Every structure is written in C-alpha cells, then in structure tokens.
Structure 1
Amino acid sequence: MAQIPPIPESFTGIPWNAGMSGGVFHISDSAVIKKPISDDLCREQLRIEGQIYQRLKSHPYITKLLAIHEKGIVLERLQYPLRQRLLDLQKDRQQPTPREVTRWALQVAEALRYIHSCGVKQVDIGTYNVLLDWDENAKLSDFAGSSLDGSEPTLAPSVHSTHPRLSIMQPSVQSELFAFGSLLYEVETTYKPYHDKNEGDIEDLFEADEYPDTSEMILGDVIKKCWMTQYSNASEVVADIRVIQNLLGAPSYNPLTHDHIN
C-alpha cells in the first residue's frame, strides 16, 4: 500500500482540480485528498463515497482508497482521466489502437462487474470518471453520488449515457451497461455518441432505439448489445470483450495480477 502523506492544515497554494462533489488536492506524488468545498450535499456525497470505497476494498481497476480523514478521502494519485487522453487523440485526428481499446474496455468492464457484486451502482459512468494509472491501466473512480445497496443516487448521468426508459433514480444493471456502451463508443471513436446533436434530439433518438452505426467498430456488437439492454450482467460483457480481444491477438490481462494471460 502507498504510504499516506501528512495531511496539510491549510490547502492554500496546493494544486487542485474542481469536481462536482468537491476539490481534489494533490498532496504528494502518490496521493490526493478529495474534500468538500461547498455545501452540505457535497459533504453527504463524500460521506457515501467513503463508505463505498471501504465496501469495495481493493481491486486493480478501481482507484485505491488510502484513508478516510476528517478533512476528506485520501486516494492514490493517478495520471489523468481517460477523457483527457481521448481529447488529445481527437485533437491530433487519431484514435486509440485496437489494443488500447480492448484493454481499457475490459478493465472498466471488470470494475463494473466487481462493484455490482458489492451492491454498488456507479451511476455516472463516463470516460471522465475513469483514470489512467502510470502503467496505462484504466481505473474506475468517483463514487460521489453513486448508489449503495439500492439507495437513490444524488447525481445524474450524461444524456449521452441515459436511455429515457431506464430510471435515473433507480439505477439498474441495464442502466449501468447502457452508459458503458456509450463509454465504449467514446473510447473507440474519441467522440460521445451523437456528439453533434442537442440533448432533446438525443433523448428522442434513444427513445426510438436509434443509435449511431457501430457495424464497422471493433466493439460494435458489444456496444449495440449494451444499448439494446441485451446483457443480463457485466460478466457477459467481460466474456464478449475477451473473445474480441483474443480474435485480435491482443494480450489479455489477469484482473488480479496484471499478468498477461496469453
């Protein structure tokens, strides 16, 4: 386990990033502290997030909790959101390699399978809530506002990740996997589904079960099945991604050891 650095008395002058539920302060090369910076809702969200991290304990594709402190949640420090990597590629008119696509997809799918088995629904699934570590592994992060044991979430997912017929207030495996389908689409293309349309149009298209064409995509079948709620659980998604990964000849990863399987 990474050593927990001293928690400063004052955070003035410490580099930080603002989030929906608080500020993330870079207190060392290996750790950050997430602390509320505004109202009571932020404090409640961070309290729930701390409970969720304690429930999840340790998993290779979930951001590691280092400590619960009176000032906030101490977490391992990672590189940056997967969203940032995709935006950088998009700026250069590039896309992730097939190996990166299947690797990140499998890692996030493994994380979702695990959190669901622990009674957690992440709710706000998106590339902005997946961080890359220093070995380029994807880690699911940010459980502020998530659902624990069926509790009502306090955050809503993006319209790009929400089907009008799937409840936001009562998240389910299907609503989680629908959002995961949109995440996979963005990972492979660097764009959110229907990125060029307004929110009302996106809702209408999803309501009619009309989605972007994925027929030529590496994970096209998986994405479509997520959107069409054809999976019963995340384990089925993991299995399908592994098949595609093996067909591509990309190395598979053991989610417990990070070792190559083949």
Structure 2
Amino acid sequence: MKVHRSLQGSLYDLPILSCGVSGVVFGLPDSAVVKVPRGSDQSREELAIESSIYNRLGSHPYITKATPPKDVLRWAIQISQALQYAHSRYVFQSEDATGKLSDFAGSSIDGSAPSVLPSPHSEHPNMPKSSIQSEMFALGSTLYEVDTAQQLYHDKSDKDIHELFRAGDFPDMSALMLGEVISKCWRVEYKDLGEAVNDITRIQSKYVTAVE
C-alpha cells in the first residue's frame, strides 16, 4: 500500500477505503491509495508528521511504504503535461492542479474570468490571474506538495503567506528531488510548461540511471 497526500480536486470519483481521525484514504488504480487530511490544520500537521515518520523508517516488509521517487516523478510529469495541454487549448485551471486535471467548473476559457481561485498556498498576489505566470507558480506549489507530502507554508496564515510570496521568500529547495523545477516555477523562469516537463524528464532519466 502506498500512502500519499494527493491534491483533492480529483477525489470525487474515487472509492473511500477508510476514514481515520486525521485523514481519509481513497483507492487508486494499480493497488495504490491516496491519503488526504480531513480538513483541519491539526489533521494536516498530523499527516505531515506521518510522512516524516515513513521517510525515517524507510523500507521494511511489514511497514507500509512512503511514496517511491519514481511515482513522484511520474505524477510530476503527468500534472505538468496536463496543464501544458490545457494551456494549448486556451484553458487555465485557475485552481490547485491535480494528478488528473478535473473540476473545471471555476476555470478560465478563452480569457474569461475564473469564478474559483487557487488557495493562498498556490497563488502569488502580484501575478495576473488565469495567466501562464500564475499557473506556473501554482504548479511549483503543486510539485512541492507532491515531493514533500505537505502544503507550502502549511503552518502559516494566509496573510503571512502572501507577504512571503511578495518578498520572494521561499524554502530551500536544494534537498528536494524536484527542487530545481519548483524554484523555477515559483520564480517564473520557464517561458512555458513544456520547459518544466523537459526538466522533470531529465531528472527522471538521471534517477532511472542511478537505480539501474
């Protein structure tokens, strides 16, 4: 069983396997599961602790596993490619990206104003809404959550998050597998999401070579 904090927009059609004090477990294809918090700050903190514990324990035949790096990279490519395709059709998600893009009810098409906006963890207050820049920034926050199993600045208020973003104050990404890509997305150093996909693919190739 694989446990991972996923992005919640695509969960509506998934079967619920179990509910606990801190999270809800949904079934995914290929005998995998996704675990998401019940919604409170306490539940998010508890799942972040759980993720840290799995990372410390590593692999053991009688302990469920944390998300393997190959899956993190695969999900990162899928999310980035899905957003890239949506942009080619003049559609902007304008919400938190998901493993499979879905729930476009509040999104922007052909430049229309979105009715639903990203969470403060994914929205830069100085960037135009429903733009390549804002979606690239949101992708960085999404990939951060995929790589770390917790939201960016999950322990800070919305106001504090906006101030940190305005100041260009982000966590050190040097230890993360997707750190280079995340930083470039936050600083909008890609001209389009195709460049992000290329960088993730390059990281994936290095990882595959290293484990072979």
User: Please, what TM-score do these two structures have when normalized by structure 2?
Assistant: 0.71
Q: Deviations over 1:12-43 (max 9, x none)?
A: xxxxxxx99xxx689xx9xxxxxxxxxxxxxx
- Residue by residue, what CA displacement relative to the aligned partner does 1:114-147 show, whole Å, maximum 9, x if unpaired? 0000110001024xxx2xxxxxxx4111101100
Alignment gaps of 5+ in structure 1:
1-18, 30-77, 131-137, 251-262
Superposed displacement of residue 86, structure 1: 5.9
Q: 1:112 aligns with which of 75, 79, 83?
A: 83
Match of 1:204 in 2: 163
User: Residues 25 and 209 of structure 1: is their aligned pair in 2 closer, same or farther, counting only changes over 3 Å?
Assistant: closer
**CA RMSD for the aligned pairs?**
2.7
Q: 1:219 to 1:86 in 2, by over 3 A?
A: farther
DSSP 3-state at the match of 1:85: strand
Q: Does structure 2 retain, via aligned residues, the 8 Å contact 1:96–1:187?
A: no
Q: Output the CA distance in 1 between the equivalents of 2:13 and 2:67.
A: 29
Q: Count the aligned residue pairs.
A: 166
Cα deviation per residue 1:39-86 (whole Å; 9 max; x = unaligned)?
A: xxxxxxxxxxxxxxxxxxxxxxxxxxxxxxxxxxxxxxx849x99436
Q: Does 1:123 align with 2:94?
A: yes
- Aligned in 2, Cα 1:212/1:86: closer, same or farther, shift over 3 Å? farther
Larger radius of gyration: 1
Selected match of 2:106 from 131, 145, 153: 145
CA contact (8 A) 1:124 1:155 kept: yes
Identity, % of aligned positions:
43
The 5 A counterparts of 1:1-262 are 79=28, 84-85=34-35, 90=48, 91=50, 93-94=53-54, 95-126=66-97, 130=98, 138-168=99-129, 171-249=130-208
Change (3 A) 1:172 1:199: same
Structure 2 unaligned segments of length 5 or more: list them.
1-7, 16-26, 38-45, 55-65
Give the deviation of 1:212 after TM superposition: 1.3
Q: Is the 8 A contact 1:125 1:157 kept in 2?
A: yes
